[in-house]
Amino acid sequence: MKHRVLYYALGLSALLLLAPVLSPQHPVPENNFLEEFPATPIPEGLSTYEHIIRHAAGNTGWDWRLIAAIIYHESRFHNEAHSSKGATGLMQIRSSRYSQDTLLIPAVNISIGTEYLKKLGKMFPAASREDSLKFALAAYNLGDGNIRKLIAQADSAGLDPTYWELVAHMLPEGHHTPSYVNDVLRTYDSYCSRLPR
């Protein structure tokens, strides 16, 4: 009994000491935003490829955490990932220029993916940097030719084709690309709050 009381007292003391650490620094929003959009888990595979992602991102000017968010949504950091459409590796690259074995080399795959993103980031006139990023992500998911067609359709419909949200209205209802763009950006925000630049 004496030992049980001692353990209880020690446990209570530890809880009291940790209380400031465990209590939230900021009040939880009333709409419970964090439950509605829980933080994207940081996969174990991220640490395996972080140095490659950082290097490739540094060469293109993109935040490495954004590249990591794209990789999470493309392959969940599974280097051996293959899609039914022939995309391969971490960033799900399709290329007739490289063999499947070459595309499974992480540094090659990530380098090709980030270079393509850099090209996409300059390809579409956009109303803001945020819209430019959304266009690039949409084109990464759907293909730059398809995004150009959507921009032309939006323009023909009298919509401002420099705003992604307006161009996205040209897609059929329930199309996966707007969700992809939002999911990548949400994961990116989550990584920014938890991973050092």
Q: Enumerate the active-site residues.
A: 74
3-state secondary structure of 88: strand
Per-residue b/e over 139-153, b at no fewer than 16 CB within 10 Å?
A: bbbbebeebeebbee
Alpha helices in 23-163 (DSSP H): 33-36, 44-60, 64-75, 100-103, 106-123, 129-142, 144-156
Contact between 14 and 6 (Cβ < 8 Å)? no
| Structure letter (DSSP) for residue 29 | P
User: Cα(71)–Cα(54) distance, rounded to whole angstroms?
Assistant: 13
Sole residue written with tokens 């969940």: 76
